[in-house]
Structure 1
């Protein structure tokens, strides 16, 4: 966690000097504004929110799926207003790095998103994903309806019964309350920063493995 944070801060200090100013601004409407900037119409789209470690990786998985229109990196599961990356990444809040997925429910189901979520991180490690350690990297599946909660719990039970993992799944299943979009330089970070040391050593191997496993779910641009 510290290495990734330090690398990010060093590489973005001069390029993103406005970030420190953004920490004191209200980003409660930032999700809609970000989507407008991306020219994405959210009409008819459903939303799903997951936390599974570094949001650079999680965002890259979901944005490759057919039926997913957009994915935003951000923070969820906490209580303080206007969380910043510096605060969250150093464990100064109760937030988890998360992604919000905007998708077409007639093209990809919530069940399939939940399946992908559990398949793309280790849900048995408490407050840790690989080199990223701390509560900010905990595994959380946020539900918006009782039906979504049942879907998540069913997937967990199926995985446990099938003994997919040697250890018990420790993913939190929590009601969705609020999602705060991360700072602009985190959005689509995997694509924009292919030479970032963390992306090269940690994210790329995971994403390539995901692409190989879920070829039938990928958008044409990601099918190799």
Structure 2
């Protein structure tokens, strides 16, 4: 089985890491920083807004079990791709909507999906998601990995992340790698 990688930014990485980790065909999800100007930034540096890095998740997946189209369908459903440098109350360039492709096919699929959503008028405002070649990905600190699972009492997790997960479970339960995950989230 072959493995591909795609890197996505959709606001706070805590909000999307847990969602993509639940999808069949995904072999790993790593929260991190990408598309910035300094080597191996810290969370504090990225949050300062001075590094140009985006908070992202790097997703390793089996294209035999999960298509790039399916990944991008979930991606566009779980965040607002029409706000520049913002997702809800999270404001700053580190929260931008971005697709960092790892090959030309991913680039073509991403651009086609944005064109399709635009033609369908799927959103009230224009999509501002950037599509760029992946570069300089740095894994976030260990305490950021699997953050929602490890910090269920965190208010941000309860108020923001949990709502995104519930939306995903409602709309995409057919993509779950383990149906027990649906019961656990209820």
Give the TM-score range, shorter chain.
Answer: over 0.9
Q: Which residue of 1 aligns with 2:77?
A: 119
Structure 2 distance, partners of 1:154, 1:61, is 23
- Structure 1: segments with no counterpart, 5+ residues: 1-42
Does residue 222 of the first structure (1) align with residue 181 of the second (2)? yes
How many angstroms does 1:92 deviate by?
Answer: 2.2
SS in structure 1 at match of 2:66: coil
How far apart, in 2, do the equivalents of 1:159 and 1:45 lie?
Answer: 27
Q: Out of 108, 112, 116, which is 1:150 matched to?
A: 108
Give the secondary structure class of the aligned counterpart of 1:59: helix
| CA radius of gyration, larger in | 1
User: Which runs of 4 or more aligned residues in structure 1 lie more than 6 Å from their structure 2 counterparts after TM superposition?
Assistant: none
1:68 aligned residue: 26
User: Aligned to 2:132, what secondary structure does the other structure show?
Assistant: strand
Mapping 1:162-173, distance limit 5 Å: 162-173=120-131
**Correspondent of 1:161 among 110, 119, 122:** 119
The answer on 1:209 being equivalent to 2:143 is no
* TM-score, length basis structure 1: 0.79
**Aligned equivalent of 2:53:** 95
Paired residues, number:
182
Unmatched segments (≥5 aa) in structure 2: none
Q: Which residue of 1 aligns with 2:43?
A: 85
Distance 2:118 2:164 in 1: 23
1:58 is aligned to 2:37: no
Instruction: Quote the Cα distance in structure 2 between the aligned partners of 1:89 and 1:64.
Output: 27
TM score, norm. by length of structure 2: 0.95
Helix, strand or coil at the partner of 1:99: strand
